[in-house]
Protein backbone atom coordinates (compact mmCIF):
# COMPACT_ATOMS: atom_id res chain seq x y z
CA UNK A 1 0.00 0.00 0.00
CA UNK A 2 2.90 2.37 0.64
CA UNK A 3 3.85 2.16 -3.03
CA UNK A 4 0.44 3.49 -3.99
CA UNK A 5 0.90 6.54 -1.79
CA UNK A 6 4.27 7.40 -3.30
CA UNK A 7 3.14 7.28 -6.92
CA UNK A 8 1.43 10.29 -8.40
CA UNK A 9 -1.98 9.67 -9.89
CA UNK A 10 -1.91 9.99 -13.66
CA UNK A 11 -4.99 11.47 -15.30
CA UNK A 12 -7.47 8.87 -16.51
CA UNK A 13 -7.56 10.55 -19.93
CA UNK A 14 -4.65 12.39 -21.46
CA UNK A 15 -5.67 15.85 -22.58
CA UNK A 16 -4.55 17.09 -25.95
CA UNK A 17 -2.49 20.19 -26.45
CA UNK A 18 -4.82 21.67 -29.07
CA UNK A 19 -6.80 24.84 -28.81
CA UNK A 20 -9.64 24.84 -26.29
CA UNK A 21 -13.23 24.69 -27.48
CA UNK A 22 -15.41 27.67 -26.58
CA UNK A 23 -18.64 27.15 -24.72
CA UNK A 24 -20.03 24.55 -22.35
CA UNK A 25 -21.15 21.09 -23.43
CA UNK A 26 -24.94 20.78 -23.65
CA UNK A 27 -24.86 17.81 -21.25
CA UNK A 28 -23.26 19.98 -18.55
CA UNK A 29 -26.02 22.58 -18.84
CA UNK A 30 -28.74 19.93 -18.86
CA UNK A 31 -27.36 18.38 -15.66
CA UNK A 32 -27.95 21.62 -13.71
CA UNK A 33 -31.73 21.35 -13.73
CA UNK A 34 -34.43 19.30 -12.04
CA UNK A 35 -36.89 18.12 -14.68
CA UNK A 36 -39.66 19.17 -15.68
CA UNK A 37 -38.87 22.82 -16.04
CA UNK A 38 -40.22 25.76 -18.02
CA UNK A 39 -38.19 27.14 -20.91
CA UNK A 40 -38.41 30.61 -19.34
CA UNK A 41 -36.81 29.29 -16.14
CA UNK A 42 -33.95 27.75 -18.12
CA UNK A 43 -33.42 31.07 -19.90
CA UNK A 44 -33.54 32.96 -16.60
CA UNK A 45 -30.96 30.70 -14.95
CA UNK A 46 -28.65 29.75 -17.84
CA UNK A 47 -29.66 31.90 -20.81
CA UNK A 48 -26.38 33.82 -20.91
CA UNK A 49 -24.37 30.58 -20.93
CA UNK A 50 -22.52 29.90 -24.17
CA UNK A 51 -22.93 26.35 -25.47
CA UNK A 52 -20.84 24.42 -27.98
CA UNK A 53 -22.40 23.87 -31.38
CA UNK A 54 -21.07 22.46 -34.67
CA UNK A 55 -21.17 26.01 -36.09
CA UNK A 56 -19.38 27.59 -33.14
CA UNK A 57 -20.43 28.88 -29.72
CA UNK A 58 -23.97 30.26 -29.22
CA UNK A 59 -25.92 31.66 -26.27
CA UNK A 60 -28.46 29.19 -24.90
CA UNK A 61 -31.15 31.91 -24.80
CA UNK A 62 -30.71 32.50 -28.55
CA UNK A 63 -31.08 28.79 -29.29
CA UNK A 64 -34.16 28.40 -27.10
CA UNK A 65 -35.78 31.47 -28.67
CA UNK A 66 -36.25 29.42 -31.85
CA UNK A 67 -38.10 26.56 -30.13
CA UNK A 68 -41.85 26.13 -29.66
CA UNK A 69 -41.55 24.04 -26.49
CA UNK A 70 -42.69 26.01 -23.41
CA UNK A 71 -42.06 23.20 -20.89
CA UNK A 72 -39.51 20.40 -20.89
CA UNK A 73 -40.74 17.22 -19.21
CA UNK A 74 -37.30 15.59 -19.16
CA UNK A 75 -33.62 16.17 -19.73
CA UNK A 76 -33.88 14.04 -22.87
CA UNK A 77 -36.61 16.27 -24.33
CA UNK A 78 -34.50 19.37 -23.63
CA UNK A 79 -31.35 17.91 -25.22
CA UNK A 80 -33.25 16.66 -28.29
CA UNK A 81 -34.97 20.03 -28.76
CA UNK A 82 -31.71 21.97 -28.51
CA UNK A 83 -29.92 19.53 -30.85
CA UNK A 84 -32.69 20.03 -33.43
CA UNK A 85 -31.74 23.72 -33.40
CA UNK A 86 -27.94 23.47 -33.28
CA UNK A 87 -27.32 20.23 -35.13
CA UNK A 88 -25.20 17.33 -34.00
CA UNK A 89 -21.51 17.05 -34.62
CA UNK A 90 -18.09 18.09 -33.35
CA UNK A 91 -17.56 21.61 -32.07
CA UNK A 92 -14.87 23.50 -33.97
CA UNK A 93 -11.67 24.60 -32.26
CA UNK A 94 -9.77 27.78 -33.01
CA UNK A 95 -7.25 25.71 -34.98
CA UNK A 96 -9.88 23.94 -37.09
CA UNK A 97 -11.63 27.11 -38.27
CA UNK A 98 -10.78 26.69 -41.94
CA UNK A 99 -7.23 25.49 -41.32
CA UNK A 100 -8.11 21.94 -42.35
CA UNK A 101 -9.81 23.17 -45.53
CA UNK A 102 -6.77 25.24 -46.53
CA UNK A 103 -4.45 22.32 -45.81
CA UNK A 104 -6.60 19.95 -47.88
CA UNK A 105 -6.60 22.41 -50.79
CA UNK A 106 -2.79 22.64 -50.70
CA UNK A 107 -2.34 18.87 -50.79
CA UNK A 108 -4.83 18.54 -53.67
CA UNK A 109 -2.74 20.85 -55.89
Q: Where are the domains of the chain?
A: 21-90
pLDDT tens track for 16-26: 666 677 888 99
What percent of the chain has pLDDT above 90?
50
**DSSP result, the chain:** -HHHHHSPPPPSSPPP-SPPPPSB-HHHHHTTSPSSEEHHHHHHHHTT-EE--TTS-EEHHHHHTT---SEESSHHHHHHHHHHHH-SSPPPPTTTSSHHHHHHHHHH-
pLDDT tens track for 69-101: 999 999 999 999 999 999 887 777 766 544 444
Please state the pTM of the whole predicted model.
0.67
Q: What local confidence, expressed as pLDDT, does residue 4 receive?
A: 55
Amino acid sequence: MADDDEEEEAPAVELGEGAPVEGAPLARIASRFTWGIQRSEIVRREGETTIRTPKGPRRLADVLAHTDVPYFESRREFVETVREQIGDGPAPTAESDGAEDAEAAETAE
